[in-house]
Structure 1
Amino acid sequence: MPELSRLDWARMNLDQVRRQLLDAAAFGKYITPEQLEHAAGKIAEGMRIYLEESHPTPADPPPDRSTFHGRMDEWPG
């Protein structure tokens, strides 16, 4: 089986959590605090991956200039 991409891995984990929560809601199944904590971790990791993949950081970001919106020749010094 080929290795999953980061997005595929995140999607798989988020889908597992979704199915677990739907199953609990539909059939009145109890989810332990440990299971909920594990599910929250999967959600957090999936969200982190989605954010990183959708908003890639530049290879060499300038220090303390990430919020500057002017022209390059206007950058403070």
Structure 2
Amino acid sequence: WEADQQTPKNQFSGASYQFVHDQLKKVGEKVVEFNGRPIRARWDSQLQTVLVEEFDGTPIPSSTAFAFVYPAYFGK
């Protein structure tokens, strides 16, 4: 998720992309278009998670726990 300058009430604003861990674990790596540029997501078998990075290898911070926390806290 990358924020933009908007501030809507009770929601995030900006670009986001969701990766399904089970799917990425099977394919290993995936290139997607994100916020106007291609990025790479890859499965890290040692950490058992998805790592997201720019093509030059710069890590893009991601929040894997968010998908579990948000519904539990805010409900449906």
Taking structure 1 as the reference length, what is the TM-score of the superposition? 0.29
Larger radius of gyration: 1
Q: Which has the higher strand share?
A: 2
Q: Which has the higher helix share?
A: 1
Taking structure 2 as the reference length, what is the TM-score of the superposition? 0.29
